[in-house]
């Protein structure tokens, strides 16, 4: 077998430097595309390659036009790897020309999961020779390309390559509703393939967007059930269980059933083993809250808080809030400062736990919150649970108007822990939302509604619901909201259906009967009525 270079330093060629602007008369011969694509800041390709390189790949992709028997698939994959090896020997990055050439069979590969997996596997073969080059190329493709079949392949490859920054960047970009309907399966697979328990919150966030009555969403759920523990392992199952217990009330019902199935199939360690479950620590702290004179319980709590096991420490940082014992706040501060392996999530939980305990050391909280920019929301939460109206207003403003998905995730991670204990916060969010809904800008209204999606059941009251349906024409008024906004209103109705009963039925039936609604909107209203609405029993 021909030698394949394992590091680009072995090749005395400068083709992998970011390309420079050549003489214009050499452009057509050497580069795919035009100068407008390749030599400006938003260029399509990162590396240099020729038209002949693309044609080689196009010939291989032609195999997919045949019936896809096992032999054809294995031959297709073998030839892709062989062509990549040939180009690597020549000092040419094969990923971009390969994916660009795959556009010639987009109608064939668009929704073929097996094709996506095969091509992403080939990218992982290239990664064995130069990981840094592959990560940079995938980042470029995910950032600048807009063809969905190729983006699906790039997302799967990103997960298999398992670079944290690349995965987080891809998730931040494509978890927006604008993309999620097209890339949801690949986004979840990327997170699962990463084998990283740290991405459990993002996985659960995607699971919470799934609908039980959608065939495609049920397929995504089945993938998660069958593959989560296989890829993420015991650590992932433990993290999934902890996250599930911490955020139970904010996880949608279908997502809960998916997670419960995973936890049932993958039992956690026994509580008397070295890896005690989160539930044990929570129950320990609750028991202590009812008998604070019990020194044995107190000693057990402090022993686990200062335990050498990171898992015990991390769980206790969160669970200590259940003790309701302000005297334990100083121990928590000491444990956090001593811990060298504490993570940003632990700092967030420590700040909030101190708030729930009624700690007085505001300076400690302010200093700890400086360790990461997103910890400012934990600091907001600390003051919110202690009754600060100023910080309730700050949090509400950040929530309603946030346009950065990564930042919004940080807000949600804090808000879901404090919104139930602060009526003042809920009231201020309602007022801010009502003001945003009166804005002339469709974008402002849409962002406000979508940003509070996890809290619709807590925030949407009868006045807001009436106003929303007035904007979509109830009763027999002009329709003011766009189709996208109408869809959001119906999804809100589905989410709060148990809160409003007959009022929801009245609104949905109106949408179903009115002729000038888009057919998809009418169908959505009908589906909610059939699947989610339960009439009250006869009196």
The pLDDT assigned to 534 comes to: 56
What is residue 14's predicted lDDT score, i.e. its pLDDT? 35
Q: How many domains does the chain fold into?
A: 4
Q: Helices (DSSP H) in 295-422: which residue ranges?
A: 295-305, 310-319, 329-338, 344-357, 362-368, 375-385, 389-401, 405-418
Domain presence at residue 19: no
Query: Phi and psi (nearest 5°) for 366?
Result: -60, -40
Q: Are residues 241 and 290 in the same domain?
A: no
Read off the pLDDT of each residue in 223-248 and give the average, rounded to a whole number: 90
The 10s digit of each residue's pLDDT in 167-180 is 999 999 999 878 88
Judge if 432 and 465 occupy the same domain.
no
122 with 45, same domain: the answer is: yes
At 496 the three-state DSSP class reads coil
> Is residue 81 a contact partner of residue 122, using CB atoms and an 8 Å limit?
yes
Residue 338 · residue 359 · CB < 8 Å: no
Q: What is the Cα gyration radius of the chain?
A: 27
Range of the domain at 471: 460-538
What would the two tokens of residue 470 be? 């007035």
Q: Which residue has the tokens 């849409």?
A: 446
Q: Is residue 315 situated within a structural domain?
A: yes
At residue 537, does pLDDT exceed 70?
A: no
Is 179 a domain residue? no
Domain termination site, one of 268, 283, 302: 268
Residue 468's pLDDT band (cuts 50, 70, 90)? very high
Distance CA 468, CA 488 (A): 10
For the segment 378-430, what is each residue's pLDDT rounded down to a tens digit?
999 999 999 999 999 999 999 999 988 888 989 999 999 999 999 999 999 99
Residue 61: CB partners within 8 Å, gap ≥ 6? 101, 102, 104, 105
Residue 311 has a pLDDT of: 85
What DSSP letter does each residue of 426-487 carry, written as one string? Answer: HHHHHHHHHHHHTSS-HHHHHHHHHHTGGGHHHH--HHHHHHHHHHTTTTT----S-HHHHH
- Shared-domain flag, residues 433 and 301: yes
Confidence of residue 532 (pLDDT cuts 50, 70, 90): low
Q: Residue 210 and residue 183: Cα distance in Å, rounded?
A: 13
Q: For residue 272, is pLDDT > 50?
A: no
What is the pTM assigned to this prediction?
0.74
Amino acid 11: pLDDT: 39
Q: What pLDDT shows up at residue 23?
A: 34
Q: What is the DSSP string of 37-96?
A: HHSSTT-S-SS---HHHHHHHHHHHGGGGS---HHHHHHHHHHHHHHHHHHHHTT---HH
pLDDT at 12: 40
Q: Nearest 5°: phi and psi at 242?
A: -65, -45
Q: How far apart are CA 360 and CA 326, in angstroms?
A: 9
Claim to verify: residue 330 and residue 477 sit in the same structural domain = no
448 shares a domain with 396: yes
532 or 86, higher pLDDT: 86
Mean pLDDT is lowest, of 64-73, 297-306, 326-335, for: 64-73
The tokens for 439 are 């804005």
In a domain, 111, yes or no: yes
**Mean pLDDT value of segment 513-529:** 90
- Calculate what percentage of the chain has a pLDDT beyond 90: 66
22 has a pLDDT exceeding 90: no
**137 — pLDDT class (breaks 50, 70, 90):** very high
**Statement to judge: residues 408 and 466 lie in one domain:** no
Same domain, 399 and 479: no
Whether 10 maps to a domain, the answer reads: no
Residue 265 confidence (pLDDT): 81
Query: CA dist 516 to 470, 473, 526, 530, Å?
Result: 15, 10, 15, 21
Q: Give the tokens for residue 221.
A: 């759920």
Q: Residue for token digits 């038209």?
A: 51
Structure tokens at 463: 């006045």
Same domain, 438 and 502: no
Average pLDDT over residues 69-91: 90
Tens-place pLDDT, residues 31-71: 343 333 343 344 789 999 999 999 999 999 999 988 877 77
Unique residue bearing structure tokens 């809100």: 492
Asked if the bond preceding 475 is cis, omega within 30° of 0, the reply is: yes
Q: Are residues 366 and 429 in the same domain?
A: yes
**Residue 252 neighbours by CB distance under 10 Å:** 17
Together in a domain, 281 and 256: no
Residues 105 and 198 in one domain: no
In whole numbers, what is the pLDDT of the chain averaged over residues?
86
Residue 290 has pLDDT above 60, yes or no: yes
Q: Please check whether residue 94 lies inside any domain of the structure.
A: yes
pLDDT, mean of residues 248-265 = 90
The answer to whether residue 331 sits within a structural domain is: yes
- Can you give 185-246 as a three-state secondary structure string? HHHHHHHHHCCCHHHHHHHHHHHCCCCCCCHHHHHHHHHHHHHHHHHHHHHHHHHHHHHHHH
């Amino acid at each position: 077998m021909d030698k394949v270079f394992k590091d680009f330093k072995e090749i005395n060629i400068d083709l992998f430097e970011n390309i420079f602007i050549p003489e214009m008369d050499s452009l057509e011969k050497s580069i795919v595309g035009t100068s407008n694509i390749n030599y400006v800041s938003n260029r399509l390709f990162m590396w240099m390659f020729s038209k002949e390189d693309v044609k080689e790949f196009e010939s291989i992709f032609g195999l997919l036009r045949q019936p896809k028997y096992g032999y054809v698939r294995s031959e297709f994959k073998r030839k892709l790897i062989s062509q990549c090896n040939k180009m690597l020997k020549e000092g040419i990055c094969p990923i971009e020309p390969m994916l660009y050439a795959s556009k010639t069979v987009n109608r064939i590969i668009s929704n073929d999961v097996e094709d996506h997996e095969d091509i992403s596997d080939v990218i992982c073969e290239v990664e064995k020779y130069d990981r840094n080059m592959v990560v940079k190329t995938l980042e470029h493709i995910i950032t600048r390309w807009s063809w969905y079949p190729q983006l699906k392949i790039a997302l799967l490859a990103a997960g298999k390559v398992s670079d944290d920054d690349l995965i987080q960047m891809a998730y931040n970009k494509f978890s927006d509703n604008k993309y999620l309907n097209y890339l949801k399966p690949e986004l979840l697979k990327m997170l699962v393939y990463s084998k990283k328990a740290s991405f459990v919150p993002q996985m659960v966030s995607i699971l919470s967007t799934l609908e039980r009555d959608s065939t495609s969403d049920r397929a995504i759920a089945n993938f998660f059930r069958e593959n989560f523990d296989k890829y993420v392992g015991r650590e992932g199952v433990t993290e999934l269980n902890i996250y599930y217990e911490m955020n139970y009330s904010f996880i949608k019902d279908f997502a809960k059933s998916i997670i419960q199935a995973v936890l049932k199939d993958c039992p956690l360690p026994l509580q008397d083993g070295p890896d005690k479950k989160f539930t044990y620590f929570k129950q320990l702290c609750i028991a202590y809250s009812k008998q604070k004179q019990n020194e044995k319980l107190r000693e057990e709590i402090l022993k686990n808080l200062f335990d050498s096991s990171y898992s015990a420490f991390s769980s206790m940082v969160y669970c200590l809030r259940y003790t309701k014992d302000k005297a334990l706040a100083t121990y928590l501060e000491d444990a956090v400062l001593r811990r060298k392996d504490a993570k940003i999530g632990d700092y967030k939980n420590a700040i909030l736990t101190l708030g729930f305990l009624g700690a007085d050391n505001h300076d400690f909280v302010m200093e700890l919150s400086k360790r990461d920019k997103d910890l400012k929301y934990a600091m907001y939460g600390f003051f919110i649970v202690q009754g600060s109206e100023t910080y309730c207003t700050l949090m509400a403003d950040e929530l309603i108007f946030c346009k950065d998905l990564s930042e919004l995730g940080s807000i949600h991670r804090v808000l879901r822990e404090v919104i139930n204990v602060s009526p003042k916060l809920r009231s201020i969010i309602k007022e801010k939302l009502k003001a945003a809904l009166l804005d002339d800008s469709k974008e402002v209204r849409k962002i406000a509604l979508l940003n509070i999606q996890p809290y619709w059941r807590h925030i949407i009251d009868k006045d807001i619901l009436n106003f929303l349906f007035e904007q979509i024409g109830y009763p027999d008024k002009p329709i003011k909201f766009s189709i996208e906004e109408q869809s959001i209103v119906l999804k809100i109705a589905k989410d709060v259906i148990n809160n409003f009963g007959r009022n929801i039925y009245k609104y949905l039936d109106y949408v179903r009967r009115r002729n000038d609604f888009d057919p998809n909107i009418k169908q959505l209203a009908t589906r909610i009525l059939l699947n989610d609405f339960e009439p009250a029993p006869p009196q």
